Structure 1
Amino acid sequence: MNTPLVDMHCHLDLFPDYQQAIKQAERAAVHTVAVTTTPRAWPHNNELMSGLRYIRPALGLHPQLVADNPQRELTLWDRYLADAVFVGEVGLDAGRAYAAYLPHQQRVFEHILRTCADAGGKILSVHTVRVAATALDMIEKLLPADRGRVVLHWFTGTPAQASRAVDLGCYFSVNLPMLNTSRGRTLLTTLPVDRLLTETDGPFTTADTAPARPPDVSRCLALLAQLLKTTTAHLGAQVFSTYQQLIS
């Protein structure tokens, strides 16, 4: 029997044929966390994925979409959080186009972390572009490890920051672009294998020339296994075990 695949971070609702993408992932039996970028997407995604075995919807508020007045989004966030186990995509982004909004992002991320800590039991997929230290500071202060679990999506921080994240109990979801850079490969070899998960981040990454879909996570798994000098079957079993531990 083949080891089940895990796609810890995929924007299924952003595919042009999103209903077909959802059906494809479900038929392929890929355990997929369907992240979103705004709480407004939650009701429709939750309805579409209700009753599915392999696809889990996530409540998200992407830092790149945080505006000067995010109160409307936060009101919706508070309304829907109780119904969500998975949370994402959330976090901070200090990239050139978004750094000016970082104070607003921090206020929103603080609200997200506090409400998740109050609720307990949430699994967060967290974006930390060019601001890993600040994000880790906030996670350490606001979301104790016994109140929620953090998966750092497409992590590009330093080895020291990655080590700190491990100490805080964080996990890391790995995609093909991370494996295609020497910096990413070097970082991944320093991380505990039982903290690694796989992701596509489709449709924002590609498999060949097409947007990556959940079944394409098998390519990431194979390359990661090669990097870590193990078999795809062995690493796949470990990733699935880690996923099961997260959701248990």
Structure 2
Amino acid sequence: MRTEFVDFHCHLDLYPDLKGAIAECEARQTATLAVTTTPKAFPRNRQLASNSEFVHAGLGLHPQLVSERANELSLFEQLLPETRYIGEVGLDAGPRHYRSFEQQRAVFRSILYLCAQAGDKILSVHSVRSAKHVLDLVEEYLPADRGKVVLHWFTGTMSEVRRGVQLGCYFSVNERMLSSLKGRRILCEIPSDRLLTETDGPFVKKSNLPVRPGDVQPALIEMAKIKNIDIKILQDCLLKNLRDIAPPL
């Protein structure tokens, strides 16, 4: 079946039924990156997604969990050859996690170095209150010819958006991001050929219920309105962007 949509950041294993979540992405014909938060979670995600035409599992070590899971970095390195997709990784300088920020930096630096050594990895990157630090580390440790970075739910400044574009980064956008004026301004700053959609389910909610896996159409519709682009043209552009960073999809 032909891919129709892109959900480049969804926590499928945090829904009650992982198999059912994968099936939803397949039913919607949505190419989906199933990000994980710890290396230990990756094997099960990979196993259940292995027969899916649309779902690919990412190997992650979430910055919010680094303080308790940094010892899994060795497992991350061990599992790295088994996937092209990395996520969720990055930095979080929010109040709840700032205490571990230097440890996060060390772990993220190691992940970028390992990915650069391996080559051809595609990373979904978290950057809460830390866009400059993320971009600094990406620039230093992951050259554009050694991997691709997709900045997930980016909330940095306009100059940081432009810097991300200059570094070759892509940006994945969800409908919640577009509910704020800043998020809409960020979208306007991102060239269409660097955009992807995401749900970030189940963390994004609508009517107090988690958005469903692969259900990116509301974000796509809103993005087309904001950018004043025909929705079909934008949809085709996002699919081309996905093929550009992940040719087999």
Alignment match, 1:106? 105
Pick closer, same or farther for the CA change 1:215–1:125 going to 2, 3 Å. closer
The alpha-carbon deviation at position 210 of structure 1 amounts to: 2.0
Q: Given residue 44 of structure 1, which amino acid in structure 2 is its aligned partner?
A: R
- Is the deviation greater in 233-242 or in 24-33? 24-33
* Alpha-carbon distance in structure 1 between the residues aligned to 2:180 and 2:209: 20
Check conservation: 1:91, 1:135, Cα contact below 8 A.
yes
1:181-236 residue CA offsets vs partner (Å, 9 max, x unmatched) = 01110121111110010000000002343211234201100000010011211100
Pick closer, same or farther for the CA change 1:31–1:2 going to 2, 3 Å. closer
Identity within the alignment, %: 48
1:125-178 residue CA offsets vs partner (Å, 9 max, x unmatched) = 000000100110000000000000000000000000110010000000001111
Check conservation: 1:196, 1:239, Cα contact below 8 A.
yes
Alignment match, 1:8? 8
* Alpha-carbon distance in structure 1 between the residues aligned to 2:47 and 2:10: 17
* DSSP 3-state at the match of 1:32: strand
Superposed, 1:6-85 pairs within 5 Å as: 6-67=6-67, 70-71=70-71, 73-85=72-84
* Alpha-carbon distance in structure 2 between the residues aligned to 1:62 and 1:37: 5
Q: Given residue 70 of structure 2, which amino acid in structure 1 is its aligned partner?
A: P
The alpha-carbon deviation at position 75 of structure 1 amounts to: 1.3
- Is the deviation greater in 61-70 or in 147-156? 61-70
The alpha-carbon deviation at position 68 of structure 1 amounts to: 6.0
The answer to whether structure 1 residue 221 and structure 2 residue 220 are counterparts is yes
* Alpha-carbon distance in structure 1 between the residues aligned to 2:195 and 2:6: 11
1:21-67 residue CA offsets vs partner (Å, 9 max, x unmatched) = 11111122111000000000111111101121000100000000001
- Listed as ranges, the gaps of 5+ residues in structure 1 are none
Superposed, 1:1-248 pairs within 5 Å as: 4-67=4-67, 70-71=70-71, 73-248=72-247
- Listed as ranges, the gaps of 5+ residues in structure 2 are none
* DSSP 3-state at the match of 1:213: coil
The alpha-carbon deviation at position 69 of structure 1 amounts to: 6.7
Q: Given residue 243 of structure 1, which amino acid in structure 2 is its aligned partner?
A: L
Q: Given residue 169 of structure 1, which amino acid in structure 2 is its aligned partner?
A: G
- TM-score scaled by length of structure 1: 0.96
